[in-house]
Amino acid sequence: MDTHLRFSVLNRDLPAAKDRTAKDPIIAREIQYYEENFKNVETVDDLLNDYRLYNFMMKTMGLEDMAYAKGMVRKVLVEGTSDEKALANTLSDGRFKELAEVFPFNKDGTIEGTFDWSIKNEALDRRIVRYTNVPGEKVEDIDRLADYYQQKMPRDVIFTVQLLADPALYRVITTAYDVPDEIIRGPKDERVEWFEENFDIDELKKPAELKDAVEKYKDKVEAQRVENTKNIVEKYIQSNFEEDEGEKNEGVRLALNFQRTAADISDAYEILGSPALYQVVRTVLGMPESMVGTDIDNQAAAINEKFDIEKFQDPREVDKFVKKFVVLYDALTGAGAVPTVQLFAGNSNARISEGILTAVNALKFGG
């Protein structure tokens, strides 16, 4: 089946097509393993040393071809993306940056979200830290933080600055009450002002409010965990779905990937950082093979000259772009006798003529 026809058939009911992939016994087993075991990952090495979890992660991010490079993957994960000099930000392959964002770890190798109870965290109340650590038992962060909050708030917190200065209290209250990210990470003066406008310290210290805050905190943490797991599993299914289609027709895989990710493209450099996206764009815009590997700024300029990236925010423009790709892909790979191409070629035995290719390539975007 040619690219255009197969792509059209799949798009008639994509959810059903992906559901068939999810029900594949091998894929279903790997999903179950991830759901049952990833929650036990505490450090980056826990993840890298578990063969099945590691390969699940790499497959999810479309990086299975780089699974051998564990040292580089480890560096990408622990450095994250906040520092512009971090490895993920310097690599031309955008998949690594996405990997670091989807599977976030701290610079010390602990998984992001794990609270720092170490003696180095001097802002904590060491008395309560000791009390909340049951010797010989593993106390989950969520329970320990909740216990710390309930003890520390009524005992010692009088002013807003005290609440903001204690990282354990800050973690609980910002999560429980959905404090906006721009406030959480904002300048100290702005945070103090916002908290004083939105919270009453005396009210927060009342027993009923303490209990309510802790319950909200636990519910939000669990909801976030469930949502993160759901999103990663969906990415894993999508990756397998696209790979399965790619084994039959690489053009279909490229088209599905582009259709899914085009709306997230913000500039030409993101396209150049993804071999799959670049192949689609280069095909549609008629960029010559000789441009591949040349100066990246020149390639970006060539893309911007031929197409307005902002149009990818319009689903109709993405649809037109992908439809053009699937037709051109068959034409340029020599699929001259397949059904869709025959419609453009004029008869069942003819190959695509230069005039037809020119006409297809002249399709206009944006109305």
Tell me the per-residue pLDDT of 160-216, one tens digit each, with 9 for 90 and over: 999 999 999 999 999 999 999 999 989 999 999 999 999 999 999 999 999 999 999
Residue 190 lies in a domain: yes
Alpha-carbon distance of 220 to 281, in angstroms, equals 40
Residue 198 lies in a domain: yes
Question: Above 70 in pLDDT, residue 63?
Answer: yes
Q: What is the mean pLDDT of residues 327-336?
A: 78
Q: What is the pLDDT of residue 335?
A: 57
Q: Are 4 and 326 in contact (CB under 8 A)?
A: yes
Residue 144 lies in a domain: yes
Residue 109 lies in a domain: no
Question: Above 80 in pLDDT, residue 341?
Answer: no
Contacts of 32 (CB under 8 A, 6+ apart): none
User: By C-alpha distance, which of 125, 131, 220, 118 is closest to 172?
Assistant: 220
Q: What is the mean pLDDT of residues 43-70?
A: 94
Residue 141 lies in a domain: yes
Least reliable range by pLDDT among 3-7, 34-38, 83-87, 343-347: 343-347
Residue 280 lies in a domain: no
Average pLDDT, the chain: 88
The DSSP 8-state label assigned to residue 58 in this structure reads H
Per the structure, the count of domains in the chain is 1
Alpha-carbon distance of 72 to 67, in angstroms, equals 10
Q: What is the mean pLDDT of residues 249-272?
A: 92
Highest-scoring range by mean pLDDT, 123-127, 212-216, 272-276: 212-216
Q: What is the pLDDT of residue 362?
A: 47
Residue 176 lies in a domain: yes
Each residue of 86-111: b (16+ CB within 10 Å) or e? bbbbeeeebbbbbbbeebbbbeebbb
Residue 149 lies in a domain: yes
Alpha-carbon distance of 356 to 184, in angstroms, equals 56
Neighbours of 271 (CB within 10 A): 26
Q: What is the mean pLDDT of residues 151-165?
A: 94
Q: What is the pLDDT of residue 343?
A: 39
Q: What is the pLDDT of residue 334?
A: 65
Least reliable range by pLDDT among 23-37, 138-152, 339-353: 339-353
Predicted confidence band at 363 (pLDDT cuts at 50, 70, 90)? very low
Predicted confidence band at 78 (pLDDT cuts at 50, 70, 90)? very high
The residue segments making up the domain with residue 161 are 126-205
Predicted confidence band at 345 (pLDDT cuts at 50, 70, 90)? very low
Neighbours of 198 (CB within 10 A): 10
Q: What is the pLDDT of residue 283?
A: 93
Q: Taking the CA of residue 239 as centre, how many other CA atoms within 13 Å lie in the half-sphere pointing to its CB?
A: 20
